[in-house]
Structure 1
Amino acid sequence: MENQINNSKMQVRLPLFLALALISGILLGATMFGGGANMKKVISGYEKIREILTYVERDYVDTVNTEDLIDYSIDKMLEKLDPHTAYIPAKKVALANTQLEGGFDGIGIEFNIFKDTIYVVTPLSGGPSEAVGLQSGDKIVEVDGKNVAGIGIDNLGVFKLLRGPKGTKVTLGIKRRNAEKLISFTIIRDKIPSYSVDASYMIDDKTGYIKVSRFAENTYKEFREAMLKLNGKGMQRLILDLRGNPGGYMDRAINMADEMIPGNPKIVYTDGKGYRYDSEAKAYITGLFEKGALIVLIDEGSASASEIVAGAIQDNDRGLIVGRRSFGKGLVQAPISLTDGSELRLTISRYYTPSGRSIQKPYSPQDANKDYDKDLLERYKKGEFFNADSIKQNEKLKYKTAKGRTVYGGGGIMPDVFIPLDTTINLSYLNELYNENIIREFSLNYYNDNKANLSKMTASAYIANFEVDEALLSQVLKMADKAKIKYDEKRYQSAKRYIQQHIKAWIARSVWGTDEFYTIWNQQDEIYEKALQLFEKAAALERGEF
C-alpha cells in the first residue's frame, strides 16, 4: 500500500524552491538561449528535484530536515553562477539588511560579545538605553528573566532578544563593575537611527575629512549634511575616506559622486542581459564640492559602491586616489523577496567606470569560486600590500581617463598613489590585547571612573594634552598578565605608541563621539598622513597638470 504523505514544511517550501529554480532558469538561461527548448529543460530539472525531495521525506531511513536540504541545494546551485549572487534564508534576512537600513526599532546600544558575554560598548546618544541609565562596560546577563551569559549567543541571537516593535518593553539584568548585585532596567524600545558617515571634521582651517563606512539608506543625506557642516567651517580641500567600505546602494554612490564632479560627465553605466538592466548615470546637479583639491582613500576592503565613487573620481580626473588596490567587485545585485520571507540577491548586470573599464576581478564558477575568497590572502602572499611593483596589470585592459591618464580594468581600482603597509612595525602585542578585549575594557573602565573630570574638558584640550602615561600603561600590562598574554619587551615597545593612541581614541569616543575618535585614531595612520602631503598633487590634477 502506498504511503500517505502528510502536509509538512517541505510541501510548503518546495514551491518556493521550484519558483527560485524557475526564476534562475528564466533570467540566467532561457532568455540567453531563446526560451522554448531551454524552458523545457528547466521544468524537467525542477520536476526531478521535486521528486527526489518527496522521496527523501517519505522514504529515507532516518528523519531529515528537508528545509535545510532545500536551503543547501539552493546555495549549491547558486555557487555555479558568480561569487555575489546569494540566497538568504528568511531567518537571516533582517540581520543581512541591518547594515543598509536607515534605522531600526530597538533599545539603542552598541554591543560586543566577548567570552560569551554581551558587553555594552556604548548606549547610543538620545536612545532609550541612555535614558534609563545603561553605561559603557555594563554586562547584559539576563533578558526578561532568562540567562544570556555563557550560552553561546551570537549577534543574531542578541538582535532577536533586544530588537522589537517601537513601544514594547524589555527588562535587562545588568552586571556592573563594582556592583555586587544585578541591576534591573526596563527599557521601552524606540526607533534607533543608524549612521554610515562615521566622522566629519576639520583637520586644519582649510582641510576637511569625511569617513563613510557603507552606502546605506541614509548615506547620501548624511554625506550632504557633513559637507554642509565642513563648508560652513571654511573647507577648501577634502579627504574622503572609503577604506574598508564594502559598498551598498548604488544610487547613493552615484549621488555622492555627483556632489564632487562638475558638469555632466558620466559617473557609471551598467550592462545586463538584453536592455532591461542597462543604465547610465551622469552628473547633473551643482554639487557641494565641485571645486577644490580632493583625495579619496581606498584599500583592499573598499568594494562595489565605494569603487563606483573612486572610479568616477579617477576617470574624470576630479581627484587623487590614494592607498592600495580596491577589492574588485563590479557586479550589481537585485534583491528579490521570496514568498516565505527569504531573499535572492541576483546579479543582474556589470557596472563600468566612465572610461569603460570593469573593475570586477576574475572568478571561476567551475570550481564554485573557491579561489575568489582567497584573493586578498594571495595578494598578501605575493607582496602586493607592500610593493606596487607586485601588482601585475593586464595590458589588454588599458583605458584612458578624461584627460588622458592611463588606468586599468579587471581587478579593482589601482590608486594614483600607492601607500604600502609598514613592515617595520610589529603590532602582534596590540592584537593580543584586542583579542582579550583589554584595550576596550580598560578604556571603558577609565571613562566610567573619570567621567566627571573628562566632562569638564573640551575635546580640543583632551586631544592636545591628554596622555596615556606610564602609570596607565602599567595597569594595562597587569590586565594583560592576568589574561596570560606573554610579555615581550621588543613586541611591547614596537606597539607601545599604538596602545597609547588607541586607548586615548576609545576614551574620546565614549566622551564625545566618533569625530574625536577618528581625529586621534588617524594620527598614526600612514595612508592618512601621506594623503595630507599630497594636496598639491591633487590640486595640480584638478588643473589638468600631471
Structure 2
Amino acid sequence: MTSGSFDLPPDQVPTPPRNTRWSVRQPWLLGLVLACGILVGANPFRPSDQNPDLTARGYLKFKEILSYVDRDYVDSVNAEELSDYAITRMLERLDPHSVFIPAKQQREASSFLQSDYDGIGVEFNMFRDTVTVVAPLSEGPAEQAGLEPGDRILSVDGQPVSGVHYTTQDLFGKLRGPRGSRVQLKVLRRGLPRPIMVPVTRNRIPNSSVEVAYMVDNQTGYLKISRFASGTYDEFKTALGDLRRQGLTRLVLDLRGNPGGYLDRATKIADEFIGGTKKLVYTEGKGDQYDTQTYSRVAGEFEEGTLVVLVDEGSASAAEVLAGALQDHDRALVVGRRTFGKGLVQQPIALHDGSELRLTIARYYTPSGRSIQKSYGHGLAEYQKDLQNRGRNGEYFHADSIHFADSLRYRTAHGRIVYGGGGIMPDLFVSRDTSAQSGYYLRLQGLNLVREFGLSYFQDHKADLESMRFEQFNQDFRISDTQLQQLVNRAAQNGLPADAAGLRRCAPLLRTQLKALIARNAYGKQAYFQVLSQGDAEMQQALSAIREPNTALLGLLGQ
C-alpha cells in the first residue's frame, strides 16, 4: 500500500497552477486516499514548454493505437478501461504517489478528508457475514431511531445484507445517502422473538479526525489525531481548549497510524505549538512555480507546555511534516518508531469524465532541510514492500538496525543530530511488542471473535455495567480465566481449535483488548482508549518521559 496526503489546501495552491466512524475500511480506498493531493480545477492538455514536440507525438501515438484497437481488434474491447489501465501503468513509472482515480472511485476517495457525510450514523462490524451494530453515533439518526449495540442488520430497504458477502464499499452505498432520505432496516435484536423494522432518516454525520482527547492525570492530556481532514484544525482547537480548562500543562499528541491529509491543517497545528516566526515546512518543485515556504505566525495556545509526540510506521505525509517541524525546532520529544517516509506533494487535476489525476508536483522538506521521502528508485513493487522489509531487517525491534548515510545528517535548532532520507526517526525509540501475538491470537482476530465476544459480554451484563461508573470499572474489572475459556470455546465452535500454549502467550493482550471493547460499549470511545493505554508500550514510555522533565532527553529540548 502506498502512502501520501492532500498536501496543499485549495487556498494555498502556488500560482500558477481525505479505525472514519466505520469500523471496517477498504484497503483500495485507503490506498487511494494515501496517495492524493488538493482539489483544483481542470487542467486541459497542454504540452510541456521543454519538449513540446515529444509530448505531442506521444499523445498522438497513443490516440492512434487506441483508435486501431477499438476499431479493428478481433474481439470487442472497452476502450475506456484500456485507457484507464494504460494511464495507471504510465504513472507507475513516475513515482509511487502519482495516481489516476477513475470517476466511480473518486468520490469515495475524496470523502476520506471530509469532516462530515450524509448517512445513518452507526459503527458496524461484520460478525460471520452479518452486519452487526457496534455503536450508534451519539445523537445521530441511528441512535434516535432506536438502534442498539449488538443489533444485527438483516436487510436494507428489503434487500438482504446478511450472509451475502457484501464488501464494505457495498454497505457504504446502501447505508449512506442524501440527508432527509429514509432507509428501512430489518433488525434482529437479542431477546426479541422475531426481527423488527427500524426506519431511519439520514442526516449529516460528523466525521471527526480528532479521535479522542482526555486528561490522563490533573496535568497531562492525551490527544489523538487520526488524519488531517478539512475540519481537523477546528476540532483540535476545541479539544485543546477543553484540556486547557481542565489544567493541561503537559500533552501527549498521538499521530500513530495517521496517513496524512491537508498540509495546511498540519502546519496550523504546528503553529499552535511553535512560537515566533519560524519555518515549519517548505516545498520545491520543477522551476519555482511550486516552491513554497510556510512559517509560524500566530500566538499559539500551547507554545510553552511539555509536549511528546507519538509516531510509528503508519504516520505519513502531513503527520510527518508536523512531527518533523516539532522535532527540528526542539519543541517536542518524538517517541515511537520511524515514520512511513512520504515527502511528495500531489496536485489533483479534475478530468472531464469525473475521474482525477493526482500528480506529484513538488517535494517537501522539514525546517532543517530534511527530505522525508524514502527512496523509490527500485520500482513500485519494492517500494510497497518497504514496511515488510523493515520487519525482516529487525527495524521494528532494534533502533541500531536503522542505518542513515552521513550525507543525510542535519541539526535541530539546539544542535541535535537528525537524519533525512526516509521518514522521521524518533528521539526515543520504542520497539514493537509482538511477544503476545501468537498465531492463535492472529486467528482469533482474523475471525473477528474478540470484538464479537466483547459486544456479547456487554449485552449479557448491560444493566450491571451501566450501574457502575467507569472509574470503578477501570479499577476493579478484570477478564477472568473463565471468560477467556468462554472465548476459546466460542472459537472452537467456529472452527478454530484450542491452543493452550498460544492462549497463554496472548492472554495479557486479550484481557486488555476485551476490557477495552466492553468499556467502549458501556462508556464510550474515551473509555476504550483509556483502557488500551494501560497496555500500550509507546504511551507508557511517553508518560514516563513527560512526567520526568529533568531527564536527559527532555533536557535536550530545553524544557
TM-score (normalised: structure 1)? 0.91
Over 3 Å counting, the alpha-carbon distance change for 1:416 and 1:24 in structure 2 is farther
* Equivalent in 78, 96, 100 of residue 113 of structure 2: 100
CA distance in 2, matches of 1:424, 1:92: 39
The structural deviation recorded for 1:332 is 1.1
Distance 1:115 1:471 in 2: 24
Partners of 1:505 and 1:258 lie apart in 2 by 34
Contact in 1 for aligned 2:222/2:253 (Cα 8 Å): yes
Query: Do residues 374 (structure 1) and 392 (structure 2) align?
Result: no
Determine if contact 2:127/2:452 at 8 Å carries over to the other structure.
Answer: no
Match of 2:329 among 311, 316, 323: 316
1:416 is displaced (CA, Å) by 0.6
Map Cα deviations across residues 155-196 of structure 1 (whole Å, 9 max, x no partner). Answer: 221121111111011111223334443321111110000011
Quick one: which of 110, 133, 139 aligns to 1:126? 139
Deviates more, 1:508-517 or 1:388-397: 508-517
Report the CA distance between 1:113 and its aligned residue: 3.4
SS in structure 2 at match of 1:69? helix
Report which stretch shifted further, 460-469 or 377-386. Answer: 460-469
Indicate the residue corresponding to 1:67 in structure 2. Answer: 80
> Does 2:215 correspond to 1:198?
no
Q: Shift of the alpha carbon at 1:114?
A: 4.4
Contact 2:436 2:509 in 1 (8 A): no
Amino acid aligned to 1:534: A
Instruction: Indicate the larger mover: 480-489 or 265-274.
Output: 480-489
**Equivalent in the alignment of 2:259:** 246
Q: Which amino acid aligns with 1:65?
A: N
Deviates more, 1:57-66 or 1:355-364: 57-66
1:67/1:326 CA distance change after superposition, 3 Å: same
Contact 1:398–1:409 under 8 Å retained in 2: yes
**Which of 458, 464, 474 matches 1:447?**
458
Percent identity of equivalent pairs: 47
CA distance in 2 between counterparts of 1:255 and 1:80 reads: 34
Q: Distance in 1 between matches of 2:183 and 2:435?
A: 50
The answer to whether the Cα contact below 8 Å between 2:337 and 2:431 also exists between their aligned partners in 1 is: yes
Query: Structure 2 residue aligned with 1:174, among 187, 201, 204?
Result: 187
Contact in 2 for aligned 1:355/1:400 (Cα 8 Å)? yes
How many residues of Structure 1 are paired with residues of Structure 2 in the alignment? Answer: 514
Q: CA deviation at 1:23?
A: 5.8
Superposition map of 1:277-426 within 5 A: 277-364=290-377, 368-422=379-433, 424-426=435-437
Q: How many angstroms does 1:287 deviate by?
A: 1.1
Unaligned 5+ residue runs, structure 2?
A: 1-41
Q: 1:152 aligns with which of 155, 162, 165?
A: 165
1:541 equivalenced with 2:556 (yes/no): yes
Contact 1:166–1:189, Cα closer than 8 Å, also in 2:
yes
Q: Does 1:435 align with 2:446?
A: yes
Q: Secondary structure of 2:276's partner? A: coil
- In structure 2, the residue matched to 1:466 is 477
Instruction: Give distance in 2, aligned partners of 1:89 and 1:315.
Output: 39
C-alpha distance 70-222 of structure 1, shift in aligned 2 (>3 A): same
Letter of the 2:348 counterpart: P
Alignment match, 1:487: 498
CA deviations over 1:217-247 (Å, ceiling 9, x no partner): 1111111111111111111111111111111
Letter of the 2:118 partner, please give it: D
- Residue 453 of structure 1: how far off its partner (Å): 2.4
1:4: which partner in 2?
none
Structure 1 residue ranges (4+ consecutive) displaced by more than 4 angstroms after TM superposition: 22-26
**Structure 1 unaligned residues grouped into runs of 5+:** 1-21
Larger Rg: 1
Query: For the residues of structure 1 that align with 2:259 and 2:44, how far apart are their CA atoms?
Result: 26
SS of the residue 1:362 aligns to: coil
**Paired AA for residue 233 in structure 1:** Q
Higher relative contact order (CA 8 A, sep 6+): 2
Q: Whole-Å Cα distance in 2 between the matches of residues 79 and 471 of structure 1?
A: 53
Query: Which residue of 1 is the match for residue 5 of structure 2?
Result: none
Which of 26, 48, 68 is equivalent to 1:30?
48
